[in-house]
Amino acid sequence: MDITVYCQDTEAPPAAVDGVLVRIYSGVTLITSGTTGEGVNDPGEVILTVPSAATYVARFSMSTPGYSIVSPAELVVAADGDTFDIDVELYEHDVALDANMCRVTGFVYDTFGQPIRNRPLVFQPIAPPQTIATRRAYDVARRVSTDANGEISVDLVRALHYDVSLEEFETPREVIVPDRSWVGVADLLLPVPMSVTFDPTSVAMADGDDEIVAVTVLTSDGVTRDLSELLDFELEFLASPTSGLEVSISGDSILLSASATGSYTVTPAVTDDTKDLIKPAAGGVSGSLSVVVT
């Protein structure tokens, strides 16, 4: 069954919004996803196929650089072949004008979802200076306070690592500044796993053999990380069918151990221990590995 999701902004008159990534879930399982205005989709629309008429959760995030979605984070939709019209409130991020800098903007919230108002954050570059793309990157400590709405704006050196101090943090948080002109502060402070890349993308192996596959993770701050660089989340890798192929993590790779012939698909998931940290807009982790055992 196909459902159509149409996204429009909250301006008057409303206009279609392209670049909205819509993910459809049944429980915690990602069923399908697509982006408004992409490919054959009309402006503001995305057509998604679901297994049957049922109630699903739709989660929304923005794929267009420089924008993020304030609301809605997620909605419950009863799929019956209708078109769902969604009013999307957008936040446009400022960008750094210096090609070596990344502008951090957005709202800082506490664990109850309340803005942290008029509170200083300190961004301390981690010593020693780091070599990034053949250049030596330096910075000084930067102190910036949230305003009365909990919003901040500060320019940091691209690709540099910082310790961020805030009264609400028990210890400083290490962050990696993405190599681009902007990032949302929420994604900088709590980068959520978004997609996994396997190298190679498919594996042919013999029954009884082991294979190592390298894994990298793209997080919501725009940084591609090794598994060991995921600071707040842990991933697990699940094989389907569940018997005949064992998957375990080995450093920054996964280890495949085959015990029965067949075709398998390996997909990533956030562990139950860290799943409660996931922001609703982030949804699940995409990516899959095809494995054939003979």
Ranges under pLDDT 70 in the chain: 28, 65-66, 70-74, 79-81, 111-113, 127-138, 272-284
pLDDT digit string (tens) for 126-137?
Answer: 865 555 555 556
Number of domains making up the chain: 3
pLDDT digit string (tens) for 159-178?
Answer: 888 999 987 777 888 898 99
| Residue 215 bridge partners (DSSP) | 198
Return the structure tokens found at 204. Answer: 């042919």
CATH value at residue 204: 2.60.40.1080
Q: Are strands 289-293 and 202-205 parallel, antiparallel or unpaired?
A: parallel
CATH value at residue 18: 2.60.40.10
Q: What is the pLDDT of residue 248?
A: 95
Cβ-count burial of 14 within 10 angstroms (0-12 exposed, 13-18 middle, 19+ buried)?
middle
By residue range, what is the domain housing residue 57? 2-92
Q: What is the pLDDT of residue 276?
A: 56
The phi, psi pair for 227, rounded to 5°, reads -55, -40
User: Whole-model pTM?
Assistant: 0.68
Q: What is the pLDDT of residue 282?
A: 44
200 shares a domain with 185: no
59 shares a domain with 21: yes
Q: For residue 166, give Cα distances in angstroms to 4, 143, 144, 190.
A: 43, 10, 11, 14
Q: Which of 147, 171, 189 is the last residue of a domain?
A: 189
